[in-house]
Amino acid sequence: MLDADFFRRWLTTAAAAVDREAERLTELDSPIGDADHGSNLQRGFTAVAATLEKEAPDTPGAVLTLAGRQLISTVGGASGPLYGTLLRRTGKALGDAAEVGEAEFADALRTGVDAVAALGGAAPGDKTMLDALVPAVDALPDSFAAARAAAHEGALATTPLQARKGRASYLGERSIGHQDPGATSSALLFEALAETAEGAGHA
């Protein structure tokens, strides 16, 4: 079973990963976006880690809902509302339970991913964060490691795609040949999740 502490550690690990990779995310964003994806997410996840340390919610749902709210209020551009929606809707789907099973978490996360798709009006293949999120959430019932691998592969697979949604879509064919920064940061989230799970003795 996964408790509030597991989710706090996941988001703290994710914040460290975003911090480490912020420069690379901004480099990826530079040719096809506003060159601010890394710095925006870094600011947001640093705020999430600080808030969780201060407030320490006691259920998985409350941890994710609080983190989502924090991202929406501190991250500019599209990524704040999208990541914030992902975490908030996942948290809401988990409800008030003190602990949740891995299958419950996988179902709740799918609800979050569906909310991101609805908000952004995007689908897999549009060269967005969904290209990492959807395969990862499909693989999550198998294992945390499988979800990490699927997210990573999904992010790499955005390189030859033409962007059909978001800022990069304005470039048309010039968006081809660039890895999507949103899919790349989404893969970091699943990397952090697998790392947290391994540390807690979950497969």
pLDDT of 120 strictly over 70: yes
pTM, two decimals, is 0.96
pLDDT(203) > 70: no
* pLDDT bucket at 167, cuts 50 / 70 / 90: confident
pLDDT interval class at 161 (50, 70, 90):
very high
Q: What is the mean pLDDT of residues 147-175?
A: 94
* Distances, alpha carbon 1 to alpha carbons 94, 97, 99, in Å: 13, 11, 6
| CA gap 191, 165 in Å, rounded | 25
pLDDT at 3 over 70: yes
Paired tokens of 28? 């990826």
pLDDT digits (tens, 9 = 90+) for 4-43: 999 999 999 999 999 999 999 999 999 988 899 999 999 9
Q: What is the C-alpha separation between 178 and 119, in angstroms, rounded?
A: 24
Q: CB–CB of 148/193 below 8 Å? A: yes
